[in-house]
Structure 1
Amino acid sequence: MPAERALALPPPGGPSIVSVVERKRGNGTEQTISLYTSSSVSGQNFLGVQFFGASGANPGIGNASFRMVSEDGIIREAFAAVPGVQMTRSATYLQNSYGPFGYASGQSGSGDTCIYGWQQIRSSRSAQTQARNFGMIQVRLRLCDARATERQLLGIMYGYTIVGMLDGEIWNPFGHPQGTDPTLGRPGNPIYPDEGGYRNTPMAFGYEPARPEIQSRVVRVRSVQPRVEEAPVQLPPPTGPRVPLPDGSSSLPQPDMSAAPSAEQTQPRTAVASGLTVPSPECIGDSAMTAACQKK
């Protein structure tokens, strides 16, 4: 069936509906609503609903078998729905908008949290009058998630909504409509504007489904400068006599130191420009008394 034909809806915020499988019986209709699953535990998350009433939609298939909720039977259901996880039944009395419900919870070896909830929606005995309020709805919820806590998963049992109904007032499973709050208009019962006044804090429902982690990899590009190979500098071979080594071999040629510098190289020079003679720095100060400077 398309998702919009589901007879029960999870609360706003998830988990989302994946598929809906419907089976019509002679005494009612049942649906298995598959929910988004992010867990390593085997199996599929689902919200199952069974509507019991003599609707006669498909009498050829036969009637769906009905069994009252029992302690042993519900634990067997929980272990079958969540294989490999040790489930523990909660002994706390809980109640949502449709009445009391129960649940079992457990944690897998990989750390996934799982719950299995059940609820039977049926009018009270006092509301079952002649030809009225004989319908019944059975609800089962299986949820496993790798990141959600037990309280977050339990919020689905508080926030789911039944949108289907049975034809005819005779099969109404909810009983008489609820009256107004008896505290309205009664002295001694103040009502405050905040949620935490005389009312209890409501149970938050819906949870963020686990998403796969996306790890971004940073690629660093290192610029490589091209190597410039310098050509080797070739020096001219030294000239001069070779000096013999103690072992009798000759060493590299030694520079010839016999040539003495010329007189022009030893004398200080002066710069001549435009007919003016500029003395060398060597002829200034105490060095001016040298023979070379006196000659200049």
Structure 2
Amino acid sequence: METVTSDKALAFSPPGGPAIINVVERRHGKDVEQTIALSTSSSVSGQNFLKIQFQGITGPNPGSGSRPFDTISDRVIAREMAAAIPGVRLARSATFVQNSYGPFGYASGQSRAGDTCLYAWQQVKAGFAPQQEQRNFGMVQVRIRLCDAHASERELLSTVYGYTIAGHFAGAALNPFGAPRGADAALGKPGEPVYPDAAPYRTAPISIGYQSAPVTMRPTIRRRPVVIQPQPQTAPALPPMTGPRVPLPDGGSDPSQTNGGSGTSSSAAPPPANTASNMIVPLPDCNRATGISQGCR
């Protein structure tokens, strides 16, 4: 067992994450197993990982140098899930799904804290090679454990669709992927249009990578200008005029100047408020230019 660099990993997560933290490699004869630790953002106990195992000539023959092959069964998968994701009840999906390497199975569920967890398993093995090679002896086992506090089940499932197997077997007889697939049968045939977006032939059934969190835009608060209306100003009230009697030019006297010139009357009503129409302006004491000497001193 040893720790190897990330560039020597036998499998990679899809673009966009989750990121590779470290790679632990175990070798047993001709078999190679790697546990690729992935970044984890969850309160569930354990580490996200992508575990891949390359098995050569499998079987009970001790001379082969490989371990016997363990078939995938319900009991094996239940034991693996309980060890990888403790305390979370996972429900297996009954829907048939497959990625670029063939069919796979998965189970998903949520923890008490609301984290989404997924456990997927896949076995990559070709059926039979050409007759001169007899059969394909190689096999690849894949296990993926993912728990995330923010991602949904669909986003976690995109990792199972988008991961890439980087390793391979040296001999053609050990090739677990089988012969390369030919071109699409619709190519070159009349009546089979092919569109630029490659739909509906190679459209991915699910988006790859985690979706970014939605950005919440704060609403713009527009403040209306406050218009202050000017209040109407009332004219200041002038105090009533008091003083000595002022003679008028026609020889009369101001009717308001009674009672010894005190400006008040014992029997009359109080004088009206001073306005421009009833305001009396007193004459000067002496006007020498006109020769009027009334009141001159």
Per-residue deviation at 1:74? Answer: 1.1
198-207 vs 159-168, which deviates more?
198-207
Per-residue deviation at 1:25? Answer: 0.9
Question: Distance between the aligned counterparts of 1:23 and 1:128, measured in 2?
Answer: 33
Question: Distance between the aligned counterparts of 2:131 and 2:176, measured in 1?
Answer: 9
State whether residues 132 and 172 of structure 1, in contact with CA within 8 Å, keep that contact through their aligned partners in structure 2: no
Task: Determine whether 1:78 maps to 2:75.
Answer: no
What does residue range 32-181 of structure 1 map to in structure 2 within 5 Å? 32-54=35-57, 63-125=66-128, 130-181=133-184
Question: Distance between the aligned counterparts of 1:128 and 1:86, measured in 2?
Answer: 46
Per-residue deviation at 1:181? Answer: 1.0
Secondary structure (helix, strand or coil) at the match of 1:285 reads coil
Q: Deviations over 1:196-250 (max 9, x none)?
A: 446545421111589xxxxxxxxxxxxxxxxxxxxxxxxxxxxxxxxxxxxxxxx
Question: Distance between the aligned counterparts of 1:197 and 1:51, measured in 2?
Answer: 34
Q: Choose which of 258, 263, 285 in structure 1 pairs with 2:282.
A: 285
State whether residues 119 and 144 of structure 2, in contact with CA within 8 Å, keep that contact through their aligned partners in structure 1: yes
Match of 2:10 in 1: 7
Question: Distance between the aligned counterparts of 2:131 and 2:48, measured in 1?
Answer: 34
Per-residue deviation at 1:124? Answer: 1.4
State whether residues 121 and 143 of structure 2, in contact with CA within 8 Å, keep that contact through their aligned partners in structure 1: yes
State whether residues 115 and 154 of structure 1, in contact with CA within 8 Å, keep that contact through their aligned partners in structure 2: yes
State whether residues 79 and 87 of structure 1, in contact with CA within 8 Å, keep that contact through their aligned partners in structure 2: no
Question: Distance between the aligned counterparts of 1:156 and 1:43, measured in 2?
Answer: 18
Q: Deviations over 1:83-130 (max 9, x none)?
A: 111100000000111011110000011110010001000001466864
Per-residue deviation at 1:133? Answer: 1.8
Match of 2:25 in 1: 22
Per-residue deviation at 1:180? Answer: 1.1
- Report the structure, 1 or 2, having the larger helix content: 1
Shift of the 129–28 alpha-carbon distance from structure 1 to 2, 3 Å rule, reads farther
Question: Distance between the aligned counterparts of 1:168 and 1:82, measured in 2?
Answer: 37
What does residue range 193-208 of structure 1 map to in structure 2 within 5 Å? 193-197=196-200, 200-207=203-210
Question: Distance between the aligned counterparts of 1:29 and 1:42, measured in 2?
Answer: 27
Shift of the 207–120 alpha-carbon distance from structure 1 to 2, 3 Å rule, reads same
187-196 vs 172-181, which deviates more?
187-196
Shift of the 127–76 alpha-carbon distance from structure 1 to 2, 3 Å rule, reads farther
Secondary structure (helix, strand or coil) at the match of 2:178 reads coil
State whether residues 129 and 178 of structure 2, in contact with CA within 8 Å, keep that contact through their aligned partners in structure 1: no
Match of 1:234 in 2: none
Q: Cα RMSD over matched residues?
A: 2.7
**Residue identity in the other structure for 1:164:** G
Question: Distance between the aligned counterparts of 1:128 and 1:36, measured in 2?
Answer: 44
